């Protein structure tokens, strides 16, 4: 009897993760895809949730990639109608890299979360961080350095500060937009490779009290060397038919390795 109880507990433990999987989130679409719930059909787009009662229509020359909350991915490129159980049969082969599951878990949370970390509350950006990209501790292999930041309601002018860590030289620029670009032939970049940047709505802030994001300028050879650290992750993404441009974008946005 005791052995039977142990076996039942073990069986329940194994089955539980499968039972917990009751929805999929659309990660990528190509062509025309429809989802049918309670007799109503709508277009299937990135971020949409597919549940156990959904019926998915994959039209000819279309493709659907979904993810679950465990970091698994599922890809269908054959036209037809699929219920939830059918979709689970199209799981992409096991990941080669631990980066892959971690990445898709993060994307799942990002797509399904109702809490937007970039929400403006009372016109004040959370944490006073306006900077968006380059993300903190990025490595940039480009002659063009594009800075992007969050804009605030009723605020017209922004002041961008870029600091050369080696020389302590600071470049200050006033702009009324949400992004700007500099090139590495700017005198600020002549010495050193490590820099910091920040954005303020104050023309003369106390820079010691401002949060800065850092970035490093690297050459293309260094970029390729750094990229080899993610070779298995890149292989997993290629297995999902992601393009080279899409993969480079993921490496930049997620791991701060930017071309």
Rounded Cα–Cα distance for residues 67 and 237 (Å): 13
| 55 inside domain | yes
- Examine the domain organization and report whether 86 and 132 are in the same domain: no
Contact call for residues 54 and 232 (beta carbons, < 8 A):
no
pLDDT of residue 132: 94
Beta strands 257-258 and 131-133, pairing class: unpaired
Strands 179-183 and 120-121: unpaired
Q: Is residue 84 part of a domain?
A: yes
For residue 176, give every residue at least 6 positions away whose Cβ sits within 8 Å of its Cβ, in sequence order, or none: 156, 157, 158
Domain containing 169: what range? 126-218
The list of the chain residues with pLDDT below 70 reads 1-21, 114-128
Res 165: pLDDT? 96
In a domain, 255, yes or no: no
Residue length of the chain:
259
Domain assignment present for residue 234? The answer is no
pLDDT tens-digit readout, 85-101: 999 999 988 888 989 99
Within a domain: 35: yes
φ, ψ for residue 249, nearest 5 deg: -65, -40
Tell which residue, 54, 64, 75, has the closest CA to residue 33.
Answer: 64
Handedness of CA 109, 92, 233, 46 (dihedral sign): negative
Say yes or no: 135 and 74 in one domain: no
Classify burial at 79, counting beta carbons within 10 Å of its beta carbon; exposed 0-12, middle 13-18, buried 19 or more: middle
Listed residue (173, 120, 165) closest to 147, CA to CA: 173
Output the pLDDT for position 214.
96
Domain CATH code at residue 148: 2.60.40.10
Q: Is 83 in the same domain as 158?
A: no
Q: What was the pLDDT predicted at 120?
A: 35
Mark whether 79 and 24 lie in a shared domain.
yes
Looking at residue 37, its pLDDT comes to: 86
Q: What total number of domains does the chain contain?
A: 2
Q: Which of 56, 78, 97 is the last residue of a domain?
A: 97
Alpha helices in 1-149 (DSSP H): 2-20, 84-88, 98-112
């Amino acid at each position: 009897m005791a052995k039977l109880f142990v076996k039942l507990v073990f069986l329940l433990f194994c089955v539980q993760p499968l039972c917990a999987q009751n929805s999929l989130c659309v990660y990528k679409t190509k062509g025309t895809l429809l989802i049918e719930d309670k007799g109503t059909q709508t277009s299937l787009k990135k971020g949409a949730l597919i549940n156990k009662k959904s019926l998915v229509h994959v039209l000819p020359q279309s493709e659907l990639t979904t993810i679950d909350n465990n970091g698994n991915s599922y890809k269908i490129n054959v036209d037809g109608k699929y219920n939830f159980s059918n979709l689970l049969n199209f799981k992409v082969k096991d990941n080669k890299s631990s980066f892959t599951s971690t990445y898709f878990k993060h994307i799942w949370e990002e797509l399904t979360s109702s809490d937007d970390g970039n929400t403006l509350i009372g016109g004040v950006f959370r944490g006073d961080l306006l900077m968006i990209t380059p993300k903190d501790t990025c490595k940039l292999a480009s002659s063009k350095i594009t800075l992007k930041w969050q804009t605030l309601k009723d605020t017209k002018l922004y002041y961008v500060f870029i600091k050369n860590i080696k020389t302590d030289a600071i470049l200050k620029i006033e702009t009324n937009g949400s992004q700007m670009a500099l090139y590495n032939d700017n005198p600020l970049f002549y010495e050193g490779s490590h820099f910091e940047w920040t954005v303020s709505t104050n023309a003369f802030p106390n820079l010691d009290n401002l949060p800065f994001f850092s970035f490093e300028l690297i050459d293309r050879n260094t970029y390729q060397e750094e990229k080899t650290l993610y070779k298995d992750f890149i292989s997993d993404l290629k297995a999902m038919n992601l393009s080279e441009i899409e993969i480079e974008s993921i490496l930049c946005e997620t791991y701060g390795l930017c071309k």
